[in-house]
Amino acid sequence: MRNGPQRHRDTEVTKIWRSLCLCVSVACGIAAAAQTPERFGIGQPAPPELIAALDIDVRPDGTGLPPGRGTAREGAQVYARHCAACHGAKGEGGSADSLVGPEPKGMAPFGPAYEQWRSGRPDVSFTIGNYWPYATTIFDYVRRAMPPPAPESLTADETYSVVAWLLAQNGIIGEDTVMSAETLPKVVMPARSRFVRDDRKGGRTIR
């Protein structure tokens, strides 16, 4: 994320941002723009407790991960109890998406290499093992949205352990590897390098 093009992007944003601010200050100079103040004084300062309660997102660098820990061994029970009914006993899928599927190993479930590997076999599903680029996303998503009737009902330890179970079932970590705020962001997902930024930009070329 913090590579060259990203930097470039940031400076562009800064430029646009400055020009917007400038528009406002230039406008302030002319009579009609008295109605466009820098600030309106509308709204309330956000209480820190409210921010803490709502700010549940987890970033790829681990920002937002709570204290706690868990292993796949511990996660098996959490999974069986809270997840298996919809996602299948082994994460193979049921009424809801399949979560486990390391195949095709070392490949994505699409593209030329995959098409050759598959040759005639039925397609494999897109899963955590073969498509998710960041392990932190699993924690973020499970905490905010799973299980659907009661999101945010698992404890931090339960969430770390069920995330560990999903990673282990997909062959990414071992049964006893501890997942925590330190270790989870360091997990390198198999599909990580597949992802590229949108390069469509209109014009004649179909991308």
Partner 1 sequence: MRERKKRQDGLTRRALLKGTVGAAAVTLHGGAPSPQASAAQDARAQSPPGAPSRQGRPPNELGTRSPAEQPKRLPSPTSSRTPLQDLHGTITPSDLHFERHHGGVAVIDRQSYRLLVHGMVDRPMTFTLDDLKRFPAASRICFLECSGNFVRTNGEKTTPQALCGLTSQSEWTGVRLTTILREVGARPQASWFLAEGQDAAQMTRSIPLKDVLEEAMIAYAQNGEALRPEQGYPARLLLPGFEGNSNVKWLRRLELADQPFMTREETSRYTEPLAEGSARQFSLVMDARSIITWPSYPQTVRPGWLEIRGLAWSGRGRIQRVEISTDRGGTWKAAELQGPVLPKAHTRFRLLWRWDGMPTEILSRAIDETGYVQPEWPALQAVRGRRTRYHLNPITGWMVGADGRVLFGIGRVSA
Dist. CA 126–CA 63, nearest whole Å = 26
Nearest to 108 by CA among 130, 123, 132: 130
Dist. CA 143–CA 136, nearest whole Å = 11
Residue 95 token pair: 């009424």
Site for ligand HEC in 152-171 (CB under 6 A): 154, 162
Per the CB < 8 A criterion, the answer to whether 193 and 108 are in contact is no
With CB under 5 to 8 Å by kind, the binding choice for 86 among partner 1, ligand HEC, none is ligand HEC
Q: Which of 30, 32, 39, 122 binds partner 1 (CB under 8 A)?
A: 39
Q: Which span sits near partner 1 by CB under 8 A: 14-22, 66-74, 164-172, 173-181?
A: 14-22
Q: Which of 22, 26, 28, 85 binds ligand HEC (CB under 6 A)?
A: 85
The contact mask relative to partner 1 for 161-180 (x = CB under 8 A, - = no) is --------------------
Dist. CA 81–CA 54, nearest whole Å = 27
Size of the site for ligand HEC (CB under 6 A): 16
Residue 143 token pair: 């905490």
Dist. CA 87–CA 100, nearest whole Å = 9
Residue 136 token pair: 């932190």
The contact mask relative to ligand HEC for 89-118 (x = CB under 6 A, - = no) is -------xx-x-------------------
Q: In the complex, what is the shortest distance from the CB of residue 142 to ligand HEC, in angstroms, rounded to a whole number?
A: 4
Looking up tokens 């009424």, which residue turns up? Answer: 95
Dist. CA 42–CA 146, nearest whole Å = 36
Does position 123 interact with partner 1 (CB under 8 A)? The reply is: yes
Site for partner 1 in 41-100 (CB under 8 A): 42-47, 50-51, 54-61
What residues line the site for ligand HEC (CB under 6 A)? 82-83, 85-87, 96-97, 99, 138, 141-142, 146-148, 154, 162
